[in-house]
Structure 1
Amino acid sequence: MYTTVDEDGILNNYATEPKMYYAEYPAIWEQRKYLIQGTFATLIVATLILVGFSVS
């Protein structure tokens, strides 16, 4: 932790910053997994909306 002291004697603590890295483009199998997850999420939301309309 990096600490400084100003002229009034007040301490300022600064957290260490983590090393920055760039994200990599997802592989083909990861893209397919995201597509399947999106499909299931869409079906669940659509089902909840239809059940909500049918109940009310």
Structure 2
Amino acid sequence: MSVIKEDGGRLNAFAREPRMQVVEAGGERSRSTTVLLIAGGLLVLTMVGVAVGIS
């Protein structure tokens, strides 16, 4: 941590931030990510259907 001395003798500590990473445009989703998104959507729809059926 870097410590800075402010006016009046107070100390102020700042955390070190991680380095930034540049993400290139045009990155495609992997097959497993697509399958997880579809499965999550189906799970949500199923849960909504069960909730509607109960009520």
Band of TM-score, shorter chain? 0.7 to 0.9
C-alpha distance in structure 1 between counterparts of 2:43 and 2:50, whole Å: 11
Matches within 5 A, 1:32-51: 32-51=31-50
Output the aligned Cα RMSD: 1.5
TM-score, normalized by length of structure 2? 0.78
Tell me which residue corresponds to 1:55.
54
Q: How does 1:1-56 map to 2 (within 5 A)?
A: 1-24=1-24, 25-26=27-28, 30-56=29-55
Once residues 23 and 37 of structure 2 are traced to their aligned partners in structure 1, the CA distance between those partners, rounded to angstroms, is 21
- CA distance in structure 1 between the aligned counterparts of 2:6 and 2:41, rounded to whole angstroms: 55
Q: How many residues align?
A: 53
Aligned-residue sequence identity (percent) comes to: 28
Spell out structure 1 runs of 4+ moving beyond 3 A: none
* Aligned AA (2:54): V
One-letter code of the match for 1:3? V
